[in-house]
Amino acid sequence: MYTIEIKLSSVKNSSLLKCFYFSYLIPLEKNVHLFFIKNKGRYYLLIESKYKKIQETTDKYKKQKYWKIAIGLNQVDDLKPSEELKKLVYDNINNMKTYVEVENELYKYYSKADKINKSEYECDLVSLKIVELLDNSSFNLTINTLKNIHKELFENIINEEFCGKFRKFDIQKYEDVLNGDSANYGNFKTIEEDLKDIIRELGIRKYKIKDINDVVELAVDCVKKIWDVHPFVEGNTRTTTVFTLKFLYSLGIADVSNDLFKDNAKYFRDCLVLANYSQLNRHNEFINPDIKPLYRFFEKFLIDDELKLIEIEPVHNNKYYDKLENPSKLIEYEELNEDLDLDW
């Protein structure tokens, strides 16, 4: 609210003020409320903006949903919350503590700890940031938004060199559901251009939505295509999912399943992996990307919570995973007792 004193000695009554108000002030500002008041013989113009600062929600249902999604997404990387966070979540949902107060309490808690559990520390702070981002309705469908979400989530968590910045080298990660093989991530040299194409396409398609099935397809394509690029060194699944959810919320789309991410974190990541992976196996059979489990996941999330998720089986490919002796080593599938012919 802003107050401006009007010095108009010729104005003697309110009717003249109204005339001045409608003739000169209304056309200048369409996004403010204007009020005249008289106090001790002086006239004042009160200007009240229609824009309001986005405030933390007091809706307990929404807060509970956001916290379940946030903690579930961290379980994708096998991260569990501390007992301290569980107590603070209860206080926040019941509007006894704000997000800022929860954050302060967490830093205070860890500053006093004799030994910090790094997994719990990451889970606690990243979960809080996810909740804050989901509760904030502001969103732009841009690459900068994606970068900013990553920075918001992982600032002071991962190496500053990687925080909110695209990777500058190629990566792989061995997956149980692929029998130890890695998904096919994008080349680091084309990350920026790949994302521009994806976001340009999403921006066009959002205006062509006709029904909830179109929304499911849009959500699946958004999370899958950005995840396939894997633009960051760490935190891609959490960043991409938060970006996708904020995109959906910006379109006015509400989810119907509160516990899906919390109860199916590993399954969700496996869906993303299978939707990405392709290879010619040792039987000369081509393994195509399987998008059906991911599609069903979002059908359950957005349409019908009673739907059953599709059971996932590990992919039979050219690799096997020696988990006991060397869990990080990929070995070509060969008869182990066969002599190798090295005479080339």
- The pair of three-digit structure tokens given for residue 267, joined into one six-digit string: 């399954």
Backbone angles phi, psi at 269, to 5 degrees: -65, -40
- Where are the chain's structural domains? 2-49, 55-138, 166-336
Q: Is 242 helix (H, G, I), strand (E, B) or coil?
A: helix
Cα–Cα distance measured from residue 187 to residue 290, given in angstroms and rounded to the nearest whole number:
21
Q: Residue 287: how many CB atoms within 10 A of its CB?
A: 17
Backbone angles phi, psi at 279, to 5 degrees: -170, 150
Cα–Cα distance measured from residue 164 to residue 336, given in angstroms and rounded to the nearest whole number:
45
Please tell me the predicted confidence (pLDDT) of residue 240. Answer: 98
Cα–Cα distance measured from residue 215 to residue 223, given in angstroms and rounded to the nearest whole number:
12
Q: Tell me, what DSSP letter sits at residue 289?
A: -
Please tell me the predicted confidence (pLDDT) of residue 333. Answer: 39
Please tell me the predicted confidence (pLDDT) of residue 254. Answer: 80
- In order along the chain (344 residues), what is the average pLDDT of each group of 10 residues? 47 45 44 58 62 88 95 94 96 97 97 93 97 96 98 94 96 89 94 98 96 96 97 97 96 84 93 90 76 96 95 72 43 44 47
C-beta separation of 332 from 319 below 8 A: yes
Cα–Cα distance measured from residue 199 to residue 229, given in angstroms and rounded to the nearest whole number:
12
- Alpha-carbon torsion 203, 298, 243, 93, what sign? positive
| The overall pTM is greater than 0.85 | no
Please tell me the predicted confidence (pLDDT) of residue 38. Answer: 58
Q: Give 41: exposed, middle or buried? Use CB within 10 Å, 0-12, 13-18, 19+.
A: exposed
- The hierarchical CATH code for the domain 166-336 is 1.10.3290
Q: Is 322 helix (H, G, I), strand (E, B) or coil?
A: coil
Distances (CA, A) of 147 to 163, 167, 232, 242, 280: 8, 11, 9, 12, 35
Q: Is 320 helix (H, G, I), strand (E, B) or coil?
A: strand
C-beta separation of 185 from 228 below 8 A: yes
